[in-house]
């Protein structure tokens, strides 16, 4: 919750950070040219040498910022992109601190997290919602160990990953769920070639369940899946910046999951690295495994002179059988994210930011002939693309659509802003094994928010206060409900 990745994105639009960084696979890796302390100074020149570090020869250590994040919902679950915090009502808290050390090519980050989730009662229905018990938990949090040389890193990590250009949502990977243990092979900077620059990340990890929480992709209902083994996750993102098209990036992301089973005859490539197989389903069928995949394409176009960017992501929740299947029903199981950001520099290193984003996760009109179900709940793996029952990708909710817009004044860590969000709760309804129709009653959330940020000496404060007005709550016609959502993060820089 240090917000540093997003601050680096602002610095990029302001021309203070290399525009050749795509920022399509995060976390952002600082380099010798611009280290951790340099980035803080670029955000706020008065920060000076506030980060405690020790260096001797090839050894270097840094005390990472300590943070306490708090979240509150007064009457119903709301809010996303909050890592291990849950989609529930009442008070929640997440605390974290740690250290980063490196020796030669070895990098170690130890940053465990403590989570408290105090679930409160709220109004539910047979279709949505379930009150869960409170939780106190300690995890590895944002910890990792890796080897890095020549812009390539390989290691083991529990860190949250974000793939894609979205500010509020991306289709495959965000910080909506808790981080999961994974092996990673990735770039830490663009790799330059005669054709342009490339960035990539390849991961192989394990996804887990939480028996005390409801599934975000199943109407927040709990399910007894103790008879199911853990799931294996394999994902890849590849980003390309053409040499002849500056400030324009293209990427493709692909992810598979399957149950961890040891069946004789299973092919190694299909079992552990299916993302490297051919695109179409008829080329990699393997009946020894139950597996699902999702795929997306994205682009980000920077305009540094105008301090602006536009971006888009388009993806499928189901593999296409072949090229004919793709052309005949291109809308089947599709979702997308589009958005833009514009910064207008002012005096004293301040700027105005305006941004907007639209996310479409509900089914397309082709559902009338061929239902794809909602994203993150495909057929073979019943948990869907979740970790600890939380959606790995767009956290706006199960089959939802959203539009968001915001305006803010920023100076260093100071921020004052207003936001508006419109969220349509799962507008498509399936009845029976094949009958599909549009809901007659629509549940819409209209959210009006205030955002703020402030730095006092070594303390950074960021806050988000929202009034959520729900029309036809729980799809009950004429029934409206209000909710207060509050999120405040306190960061201490040693």
| Residue-wise pLDDT tens digits, 183-202 | 999 999 999 999 999 999 99
- The answer to whether 221 and 215 have CB atoms below 8 angstroms apart is yes
Instruction: Return the pLDDT at 264.
Output: 61
44-48, 79-83, 169-173, 339-343, range with the lowest pLDDT: 44-48
| Tokens standing for residue 226 | 């103790």
Terminal-residue alpha carbon distance, the chain = 16
Nearest by Cα to 38 from 1, 4, 2, 3: 4
Average pLDDT value for residue range 377-399: 89
- Alpha carbon 406 to its chain centroid, in Å, reads 19
CA distance 443 to 480: 9
Residue of 175 and 229 predicted with greater confidence? 175
| Residue-wise pLDDT tens digits, 214-248 | 999 889 999 888 888 889 999 999 999 999 888 99
Whole-angstrom CA distances from 101 to 63, 143, 147, 376, 494 are 9, 12, 12, 37, 15
Please determine, for residue 290, whether its predicted confidence score (pLDDT) is greater than 80.
Answer: no
CA distance 423 to 397: 9
CA distance 166 to 262: 37
Residues in the chain: 494
Instruction: Return the pLDDT at 155.
Output: 97
CA distance 313 to 310: 11
CA distance 85 to 46: 33
Q: Residue 30, exposed/middle/buried by CB under 10 A (0-12, 13-18, 19+)?
A: middle
| Residue-wise pLDDT tens digits, 115-132 | 999 999 999 999 899 999
| Tokens standing for residue 314 | 């388009």
CA distance 255 to 231: 13
| Tokens standing for residue 115 | 């989570």
| Residue-wise pLDDT tens digits, 297-348 | 999 999 989 999 999 999 988 766 666 666 667 778 889 999 999 999 998 8
CA distance 369 to 183: 40
Residue of 373 and 487 predicted with greater confidence? 487
CA distance 441 to 443: 7
Other beta carbons within 10 Å of 389: 28
For residues 44, 165, 429 and 293, what is the CA-based torsion angle, rounded to 10 degrees? Answer: -130
* Strand intervals (E) in 188-333: 191-193, 196-207, 231-242, 248-259, 291-303, 308-316
- 432: pLDDT confidence band, cut at 50, 70 and 90? very low
């Amino acid at each position: 919750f240090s917000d540093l990745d997003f601050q680096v994105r602002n610095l990029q639009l302001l021309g203070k950070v290399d525009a050749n960084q795509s920022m399509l696979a995060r976390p952002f890796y600082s380099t010798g040219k611009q280290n951790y302390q340099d980035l803080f100074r670029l955000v706020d020149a008065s920060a000076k040498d506030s980060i405690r570090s020790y260096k001797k020869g090839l050894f270097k250590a840094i005390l990472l910022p300590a943070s306490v994040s708090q979240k509150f919902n007064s009457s119903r679950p709301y809010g996303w992109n909050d890592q291990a915090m849950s989609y529930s009502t009442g008070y929640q808290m997440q605390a974290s601190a740690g250290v980063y050390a490196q020796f030669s090519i070895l990098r170690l980050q130890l940053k465990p997290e403590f989570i408290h989730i105090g679930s409160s009662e709220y109004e539910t229905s047979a279709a949505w919602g379930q009150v869960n018990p409170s939780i106190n938990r300690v995890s590895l949090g944002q910890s990792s160990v890796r080897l890095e040389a020549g812009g390539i890193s390989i290691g083991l990590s529990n860190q949250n990953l974000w793939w894609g250009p979205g500010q509020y949502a991306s289709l495959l990977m965000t910080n909506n769920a808790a981080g999961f243990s994974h092996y990673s092979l990735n770039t830490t900077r663009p790799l330059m070639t005669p054709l342009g620059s490339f960035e990539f990340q390849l991961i192989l990890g394990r996804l887990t369940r939480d028996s005390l929480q409801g599934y975000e992709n199943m109407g927040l209902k709990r399910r007894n899946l103790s008879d199911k083994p853990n799931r294996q996750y394999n994902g890849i993102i590849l980003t390309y910046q053409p040499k002849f098209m500056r400030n324009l990036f293209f990427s493709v992301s692909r992810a598979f999951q399957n149950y961890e089973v040891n069946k004789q005859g299973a092919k190694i490539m299909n079992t552990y690295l299916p993302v490297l197989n051919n695109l179409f389903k008829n080329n990699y069928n393997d009946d020894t495994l139950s597996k699902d995949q999702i795929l997306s394409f994205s682009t980000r176009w920077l305009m540094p002179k105008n301090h602006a960017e536009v971006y888009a992501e388009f993806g499928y929740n189901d593999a296409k059988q072949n090229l004919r299947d793709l052309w005949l029903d291109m809308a089947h199981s599709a979702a997308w994210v589009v958005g833009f950001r514009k910064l207008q520099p002012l005096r004293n290193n301040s700027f105005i930011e305006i941004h907007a984003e639209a996310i479409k996760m509900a089914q397309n009109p082709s559902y009338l002939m061929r239902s794809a179900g909602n994203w993150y709940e495909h057929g073979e793996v019943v948990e869907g693309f979740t970790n600890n029952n939380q959606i790995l990708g767009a956290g706006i909710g199960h089959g939802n659509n959203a539009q968001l817009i915001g305006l803010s004044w920023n100076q260093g860590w100071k921020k004052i802003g207003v936001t508006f969000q419109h969220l349509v709760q799962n507008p498509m309804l399936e009845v029976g094994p094949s009958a599909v129709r549009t809901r007659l009653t629509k549940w819409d959330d209209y959210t009006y928010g205030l955002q703020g940020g402030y730095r006092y000496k070594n303390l950074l404060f960021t806050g988000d206060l929202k009034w959520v007005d729900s029309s036809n709550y729980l799809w009950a016609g004429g029934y409206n409900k209000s909710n207060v959502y509050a999120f405040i993060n306190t960061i201490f820089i040693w």
